[in-house]
């Protein structure tokens, strides 16, 4: 390699994420170095930046995991990949030995190493990852679109987990990037979809994407779903807000034997009314991360232009200004913020 350092964004302490020069590591056996093109900032990254995950994240930590890049170097024993290949990364390194992995659920491994949280991530000019994490992205795919493959994979997994079928009615509570993507993927299944979101900017974006959207501060989601379904309610509700009111709203929107797909992270314990689960025979389904097949389906949808992911991108800032990128998302009003990780000479 021609240089021994490269630019990377590191979390140092609560409120301090900035880019500086760090050591560039060569890929070892079975590893691949990629040069990220664009890396998205997600809610988990914001939690890290706020200091909420200090018990898990060692500092200083290179963070970020929503990325698209090109292969820039191959470690020993790697085959099937060439320098210049366009790829995304499934940022999950399971131990492959625990009971969960043995039962076929390695994406929620008992000792999962989530790249960009538990180990170095993608907000950098170069990123070394295990060969098995790579997924090929078709040539000609817009790299900014491909930067949304990871959250799209979340949406694909959530819709699949919910068992949503064509002709069913689905309510999505929370209109951030993942909520919007869930609504778009759900609509592609042939379901009727309504999205509930209190933020006016996000509601306007949802409406521009052709989604049916309501303001939960002025409209009753439960009443609306029953009006649209002849009094039945939604077959599926996706709770994506991570808020107590959102959880209550999602449960209230469900039909008898409806399925609540819990997507949002509820960091604090919630007090919820379990009586509707008994009385209406509801199901609660947890949905965490994604499996490789979900990522491959996301690649297919995005590369084919079947999802308008570009509309979700509100800010693109260079890696050298990553602190501003985090601030833009934390201040509100932004939807998806991307960081341009290309080397300075490429940006120029």
pLDDT tens-digit map of 177-217 = 999 999 999 999 999 999 999 999 999 999 999 999 999 99
Residues of the chain with pLDDT > 70: what percent? 98
What is the reported pTM?
0.96
In this predicted structure, what is the pLDDT of residue 57? 96
Average pLDDT of every residue of the chain: 96
In this predicted structure, what is the pLDDT of residue 344? 62
In this predicted structure, what is the pLDDT of residue 2? 57
In this predicted structure, what is the pLDDT of residue 241? 97
Q: What is the rounded average pLDDT of the residues 127-156? A: 98
pLDDT tens-digit map of 232-291 = 999 999 999 999 999 999 999 999 999 999 999 998 899 999 999 999 999 999 999 999
Active-site amino acid positions: 44, 47
Residue 346 pLDDT exceeds 50: no
In this predicted structure, what is the pLDDT of residue 3? 75
Q: If DSSP states are collapsed to H, E and C, what string results for the chain?
A: CCCCEEEEEEEEECCEEEEEEEECCCCCCCEEEEEEEEEEECHHHHHHHCCCCCCCCCCCEECCCEEEEEEEEECCCCCCCCCCCEEEECCEECCCCCHHHHCCCHHHCCCCEEECCCECCCCECCEEEEHHHEEECCCCCCHHHHCCHHHHHHHHHHHHHHCCCCCCEEEEECCCHHHHHHHHHHHHCCCEEEEECCCHHHHHHHHHCCCEEECCCCCCHHHHHHHHCCCCCEEEEEECCCCHHHHHHHHHCEEEEEEEEECCCCCCCCCCCCHHHHHCCCEEEECCCCCHHHHHHHHHHHHCCCCCHHHHEEEEEEHHHHHHHHHHHHCCCCCEEEEECCCHHHHC
């Amino acid at each position: 390699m021609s240089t021994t350092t490269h630019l990377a964004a590191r979390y140092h302490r609560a409120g301090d994420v900035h880019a500086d020069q760090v050591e560039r590591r060569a890929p070892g056996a079975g590893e691949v170095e990629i040069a990220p093109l664009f890396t998205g900032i997600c809610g988990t990254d914001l939690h890290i930046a706020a200091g909420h995950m200090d018990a898990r994240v060692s500092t200083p930590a290179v963070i970020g995991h929503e990325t698209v890049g090109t292969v820039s170097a191959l470690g020993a024993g790697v085959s099937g990949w060439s320098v210049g290949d366009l790829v995304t990364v499934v940022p999950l390194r399971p131990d492959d030995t625990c009971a969960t992995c043995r039962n076929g659920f390695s994406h929620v491994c008992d000792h999962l190493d989530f790249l960009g949280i538990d180990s170095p991530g993608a907000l950098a000019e170069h990123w070394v990852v295990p060969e098995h994490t790579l997924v090929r992205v078709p040539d000609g795919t817009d790299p900014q679109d491909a930067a949304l493959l990871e959250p799209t994979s979340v949406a694909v997994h959530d819709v699949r987990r919910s068992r949503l079928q064509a002709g069913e009615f689905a309510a999505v509570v929370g209109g951030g990037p993942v909520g919007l993507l869930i609504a778009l993927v759900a609509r592609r299944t042939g379901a009727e979809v309504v999205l509930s979101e209190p933020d006016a900017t996000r509601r306007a974006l949802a409406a521009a994407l052709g989604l049916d959207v309501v303001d939960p501060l002025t409209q009753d989601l439960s009443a609306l779903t029953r009006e649209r379904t002849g009094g039945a309610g939604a077959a599926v509700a996706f709770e994506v807000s991570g808020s107590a009111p959102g959880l209550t709203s999602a449960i209230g929107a469900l039909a008898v034997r409806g399925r609540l797909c819990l997507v949002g992270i509820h960091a604090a314990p919630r007090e919820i009314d379990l009586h509707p689960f008994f009385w209406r025979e509801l199901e609660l389904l947890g949905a965490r991360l994604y499996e490789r097949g979900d990522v491959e389906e996301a690649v297919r949808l995005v590369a084919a232009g079947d999802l308008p992911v570009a509309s979700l991108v509100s800010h693109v800032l260079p890696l050298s200004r990553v602190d501003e990128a985090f601030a833009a998302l934390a201040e509100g009003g932004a939807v998806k913020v991307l960081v341009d990780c290309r080397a300075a000479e490429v940006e120029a």
